[in-house]
Structure 1
Amino acid sequence: MALRARALYDFISENPGEISVIENELLTLSSEEVVDGWLEGTNTRGETGLFPASYVEIIRTDTSLHDNGTPASQDYYYQNSPQRRDTSNESTPTNSTIYQDRQRRQSIQSQGSDEDWDDDWDDSVTSEERGGTSEKRGNTQPSSTNNSVSRRTTLQSKSTGTVGKNLNRFSTFVKSGGEAFVLGEASGLVRDGEKIFVDMGQYGPEWQDNPYPFTCTIDDPTKQTKFKGMKSYMSYGLTPSHTQSQVNRRYKHFDWLYARLVEKFPVISVPHLPEKQATGRFEEDFISKRRKGLIWWMNHMTSHPILSKCDVFQHFLTCSSNDEKAWKQGKRKAEKDHLVGANFFLTICPPALPLDLQEVESNIDGFKTFTKKMDENLIQVNVTINEFARKQITGFKKEYQRVGQAFRLLSQAFEFDQQVYSVPLNKAIVHTGEVYETIGDYFAEQPRQDLDPISDLLAIYQGHLANFPDIIHVQKGALTKAKESQKDGTAGGGINDRCNIISCATLAEIQHFHRIRVRDFKAQMQYFLQQQISFFQKITGKLEEALDMYDQA
């Protein structure tokens, strides 16, 4: 019994691994399993790949024989399929639904819905300006404004001997475009200004430094309103050091930028943004925490030799907040960028001397072990300091206050002696009680100064560590293809060279990660110890102040 499906609507493929389908076309399914809203099968033109499950209705073709030996071919609906539905009153699935499915497949995380694209820059934006697909039911022409991988780029299949495609079309290696690149299916024009150079440094491949480094400050956000006060949002003032011109951005602008970067750079760890929050967005603690998270995010962005220079990031930082037209033009340009996914690797210029793939594999395995251990210990550190902070805020404060109150009670007892010469002593004891209560307040306030910044640092690195399994998977996939080509003697087809490019980029990103890790943790531990020293010096000062009272008693 062959499992088949009938297309309910036209669908235009946009990514490597996807296929186009036409309304009423019969498709042969590879499997009935629906993964993230996508099915895999073969169309009538012999193309095999993915298509949205919501665009088809699953049927079965019974190829058994009647008792008389004649075929009993009969199509019938697969009643238990999640795609079985009455389509008489159903409209074509929306472009946004398919876009969201693609985003999930590309591991672009959506962590909430606190700010939608509805501000003045986007109220009147058409579907074309949003970078979404413009195809409708009956339109079989691909959209020229699509923002998915490999848009407007002809993917030319090249012979790679017996090196086949990955059967798991949902693997990161496939979704990222790594497989398409290694198999020679990526093509596109790369201008000189779009080239990314990897140098051979002292410790291996590394990204070529940004010749014009800069930083960016983020001011305290201000609450803004629109629609005559019916809509409120927080606006952050960003001032890049290379322009010294402030621009105002909302969190959703950061979110849009993040999505573009994740789509464009498959082997670069784009730092995670602070999480979204549906409620309490205007509470002081949340606003402060989000700003700190955005500062960490921006520091990592401006420190990265590649991310800091890319056009979409520069547009985000430099486009005037008041120039709606310029913003939309830059936004559309970013969403039409063809050098994303598989084509991103075309921009990479590796060192002249190829890497030893065995050595690369060893280095990648070592880094994989390192990240696993680092991730485990970051979690442990986070749990420990959070528990310590809780004790300081509640337990320590309470205990010091109890000691202070006990001294106060002792002073009250001494006052019953009614001796004049005991008054200075009583005052000194009262002051000692007050000092201990103050020290309790110091303990409660201190975590904000020294422990919270460590938590912020751990959060940004936990995001990086969450990115690296996918990055490593892309490199591992490329290495597997290179090994296959060596076994069947097709290594001369360029697979080794393309694997070398992915390996160079991956190792360069790993090298960058180690450098910023050493920089950040060194600076943060120094800051932590300085704050601890200041804290205990402040306590010592209060105790010395109490001690001086007894010299006068």
Structure 2
Amino acid sequence: MTEPKIAIALYSYEPQEEGELLLLEGDILTVLEEDASGWWSGESNGKTGLFPGSYVEYVDEQLIESLGLEQFEEISEESNNTTEQDLTQQQGGEFSGQNINDENYVSDEENEKDNTSQNQNQQEIIQTQNFTRNIGGTTMIHDGFIWEEKEPVFKVTIGKTVKRKKLRGMKKYTAYLIHSGNFCVTRRYKHFLWLRQRLVERYENVPVPPMPEKQFQGRFGEDFISRRREGLNRFLNRICEHPILRSSQIFHHFLEADEYQDWKMGKRAAEKQNKKEVPFFKSITCAQEVTKDCDDEITEFKKNITSLDKCLKNVENVATDLYLSNYQDLSASYLKFSKAFLKLGSEAKGIVGKNLDIEGKELKERGKEQRKIFIDPLKDYNRLIQVFIETIKVRDQANFQYVSTHAKYTKQNMGELSGQNRDKLLLKQDKSDRMTNITLAEIELFHYNRLRDSKEILTNHLKTQIEYYRKSSERWKKVKEEVEKIPVIHGSKKLEGMEDLSEPELFDEKIETDTEENQTSNQIDKEIEKNDEDNEEEDDEDTDDEDTDEDDDDDQTEETEEIEKEKDENEKNEKEKDEKENNDDFEKI
């Protein structure tokens, strides 16, 4: 049995089940018993019940002795009344101006001056308590709905990937090497999932950045691993850029726990702690009141973000069609074009054909590169918008509960609210106001990040465009210089190295020669075949049907030739037989 101690409520708590104790922020209560589960037993305002232990803080006994318990409770009561008044005044919209707590309003200037000294005493009492908790204490939202910066922005880099095996090689997986400051840890994809799930639990109304989607086929291909690494890198750095998420102990444990046992123990502790912690919205201190304009701003933002989602999807579809389809087709065309130049004279073949071959390969790589720096970030942003929309629904639900409860109690009482109904309504109003502040702070942050990210995506795209055309221009300039050196003289009647350009085999897949020129051509043929194999999965059904028809025509042609050949042989045999019979008859005569 724990010895009774005096404590002060740090946050308000509304009972969810029978036997729980109602707490208002600033209430003085007596803790009767502590329990390892996180639920404590206590007494407040003559009632006994259970409450979350993390919602209260013990009061310094020496401070109580110096002030006296009665004076301490009076100070706490005044502070509590002032808090209720502030909550009532903050709510705007349809119910702004309606007084739900008239008996506690302090409108007389002299009373406000008298209460000033008591409020200052209350601040001194609060400052003597240790409010440092796992969530990092209270968080401030400044005027203009801007998050307080608790720690500076830092960067995270995912370096090389490592392929590992377990269960004696029966199961394999990919691990990612993460560098952050002085720390370097190795994490699997499922560990990233764990991190995001814990952050979503802890910060229910903060949009936690999305992760790259799962894939079950081709998980160990180099291209897929590279793209996933880029996606995970964006995920971590978006957390680093968020003023609240980057200061989370869960995130720091993910980045810093390099020993296996430390990592495991920290994971279990974080999972248990999330269930006991005070909800994040209760730790918010808001500098700006919530008005009807706040609701209008959120409603307008929801419309705009839906339109933005459609625009981004359209850009993504166009970019996908351009880079993944047209670039690959153009790459194959360049390779075939270079092969055509190999059929020309040796001078042109060595100059133009080689450069066309390089251009074809560059275009193929360019399609892959643009997918990583342009298309994948757009997909990430679409997922981020969906997360944002779902997060706003959490705030809308809290606001709806407050409005509906207010309407219900007002209709029942047809007058002033008092007692327990008033306390419950104040709790719902407090939750709605705090979540509205969080949502508006996130909207402000989203606008800033959107401008910065769109600028970065376009800048990277333009850099690759400039670099590609710069290299291509330099190559063609060299080709031009070489072509200009080709001698043009009279008396040259022989076309060296020239082949019959009218032959249909010009673009065939095989050239059966043993010269050095044709050996080079065969190498290019292999590139074409490889490129065609890469494009087979993207061919539509019509193309497959056409190929099948062509194969059937070839089979029919071969059958006709065999029948004709067999017919000729039969006629020849019959003719020989007739001649032999005639000779025999002649001999008999």
Quote how far apart the aligned CAs of 1:195 are: 2.8
Q: Does 1:221 align with 2:161?
A: yes
- Aligned partner of 1:335 in structure 2 is 271
Name the TM-score, length of structure 1 as normaliser: 0.59
Give SS of 2:163's match.
strand
Which amino acid counterpart does residue 501 of structure 1 have in structure 2? R
Q: Which has the higher contact order (CA 8 A, sep 6+)?
A: 1
Q: Distance in 2 between matches of 1:145 and 1:434?
A: 74
Match of 1:153 among 52, 61, 67: 52
Partner residue in 2 for 1:371: 305
Alpha-carbon distance, 1:526 to partner = 0.6
1:423-438 aligned at under 5 Å gives the runs 426-428=346-348, 430-438=350-358
Q: What is the alpha-carbon distance in structure 2 between the residues aligned to residue 403 and residue 395 of structure 1?
A: 12
1:456 partner amino acid: D
Counterparts in 2 of 1:400 and 1:196: CA distance versus 1, 3 Å: farther
Counterpart of 1:355 (choices 282, 285, 290) is 290
Q: CA RMSD in A?
A: 3.2
Cα distance, 1:339 vs structure 2: 6.8
- 1:452 and 2:372 equivalent? yes
2:173 alignment counterpart: 233
Alpha-carbon offset, residue 145 of structure 1: 9.3
**1:311/1:233 Cα in 2 relative to 1: closer, same or farther (>3 Å)?**
same
Kindly provide the amino acid, as one letter, of the partner of residue 271 in structure 2: E
Q: Which residue of 2 aligns with 1:542?
A: 475
Deviations 1:277-320 (A, max 9, x none): 33433222221121111111111011111111111111111112
Indicate the SS of the match to 2:204.
coil
Name the structure 2 match of 1:463: 383
Within 1, Cα distance between the matches of 2:15 and 2:449?
Answer: 35
For the residue of structure 2 that corresponds to 1:219, the secondary structure is strand
Separation in structure 1 between the aligned mates of residue 341 and residue 187 of structure 2, nearest angstrom: 54
Tell me the distance in 2 between the aligned counterparts of 1:449 and 1:387: 14
Residue identity opposite 1:391 in structure 2:
S
Are the aligned partners of 2:142 and 2:148 in contact in 1 as well (CA < 8 Å)? Answer: no
Secondary structure at 1:237's aligned position in 2? Answer: strand
Secondary structure at the residue paired with 1:239?
A: strand
1:408 aligns with 2:342: yes
Aligned CA distance change for structure 1 residues 190 and 152 (closer, same or farther; 3 Å):
farther
Residues 198 and 205 of structure 1 are in contact (CA less than 8 Å); yes or no, is this contact kept in structure 2? Answer: no
Report how far residue 460 of structure 1 moved. Answer: 2.1
User: For residues 341 and 366 of structure 1, do their structure 2 counterparts lie closer, same or farther at Cα, with a shift above 3 Å needed?
Assistant: farther
Q: Superposition pairs for residues 362-401 of structure 1, below 5 Å?
A: 362-401=296-335
Residue aligned with 2:206, SS: coil
Structure 1 residue 398: deviation in Å? 2.2
Q: In 2, are the aligned partners of 1:264 and 1:340 still within 8 Å (CA)?
A: no
Q: Does 1:199 align with 2:141?
A: yes
Counterpart in 1 of 2:516? none
Aligned to 2:205: 267
Asked if 2 retains the 8 angstrom alpha-carbon contact of 1:144 and 1:152, the reply is no
CA–CA distance in structure 2, aligned partners of residues 224 and 302 of structure 1? 28
Decide whether aligned partners of structure 1 residues 281 and 196 sit closer, same or farther in structure 2, where only a CA change above 3 A counts.
farther
**Using a 3 Å threshold, how does the CA distance of structure 1 residues 17 and 513 change in structure 2: closer, same or farther?**
farther
Q: 1:392 to 1:445 in 2, by over 3 A?
A: farther
Shift of 1:430: 4.3
Amino acid at match of 1:516: N
- Give the deviation of 1:350 after TM superposition: 1.4
**Matching residue's letter, 2:171:** K
Using the alignment, how far apart are the partners of 1:541 and 1:145 within structure 2?
70
- After superposition, the C-alpha distances for 1:210-253 in whole angstroms (9 at most, x for unaligned) are 33332111111111223333332222111212xx1211111111
**1:392 to 1:145, Cα distance in 2 relative to 1, 3 A:** farther
Matched letter for residue 383 of structure 2: G
Aligned ranges 1:287-366 → 2 under 5 Å: 287-320=225-258, 322-324=259-261, 326-338=262-274, 343-351=279-287, 353-356=288-291, 358-366=292-300
Deviation at 1:260, TM superposition (A): 0.9
Within-5 A mapping of 1:156-195: 191=132, 194-195=136-137
Evaluate the alpha carbon distance shift between residue 152 and residue 552 of structure 1 in structure 2; reply closer, same or farther with a 3 A threshold: farther
Q: Using the TM superposition, give the Cα deviation of residue 375 of structure 1 relative to its aligned residue in structure 2, in angstroms.
A: 1.1
SS in 1 for 2:216: coil
1:530 equivalent in structure 2: 463
Where structure 1 has 5 or more consecutive residues not aligned to the other structure, the ranges are 1-15, 20-44, 48-141, 157-188, 413-425
Judging changes above 3 Å, is the alpha-carbon distance between structure 1 residues 461 and 395 closer, same or farther for their aligned structure 2 residues? same
Q: Please say if residues 145 and 336 of structure 1, whose CA atoms lie closer than 8 Å, have aligned partners that are also in contact.
A: no
Of structures 1 and 2, the larger Rg is shown by: 2
Maintained 8 Å contact 1:439/1:539: yes
Q: 1:269 to 1:262 in 2, by over 3 A?
A: same
Give the drift of 1:485.
5.4
Residues 194, 347 of structure 1: 8 Å contact kept? no
1:511 equivalent in alignment to 2:444: yes
Letter of the structure 1 residue corresponding to residue 377 of structure 2: L
Cα contact 1:205–1:508 (8 A) shared by 2 = yes
Of the three residues 165, 169, 193, the one matched with 1:255 is: 193
Q: TM-score scaled by structure 2? A: 0.56
Distance 1:18 1:444 in 2: 61
Contact 1:428 1:550 in 2 (8 A): yes
Q: Report the alpha carbon displacement of residue 154 of structure 1 after superposing the two structures with TM.
A: 7.5
Quick one: distance in 1 between partners of 2:254 and 2:51? Answer: 24
Asked if residue 496 in structure 1 is aligned to residue 429 in structure 2, the reply is yes
SS of 1:220's partner is strand
Counterpart contact for 1:263–1:341, Cα < 8 Å: no
Mapped to 2, the partners of 1:222 and 1:190 lie a distance apart of 43
- Evaluate the alpha carbon distance shift between residue 216 and residue 481 of structure 1 in structure 2; reply closer, same or farther with a 3 A threshold: same
Quickly say closer, same or farther: Cα 1:221–1:245, change in 2 above 3 A: same
The change in CA–CA distance for 1:403 and 1:233 in structure 2 (over 3 A counts) is closer
Shift in alpha-carbon separation, 1:340–1:388, aligned structure 2, 3 A: farther
Instruction: Check whether the contact 1:219–1:236 (CA below 8 A) recurs between aligned residues.
Output: yes
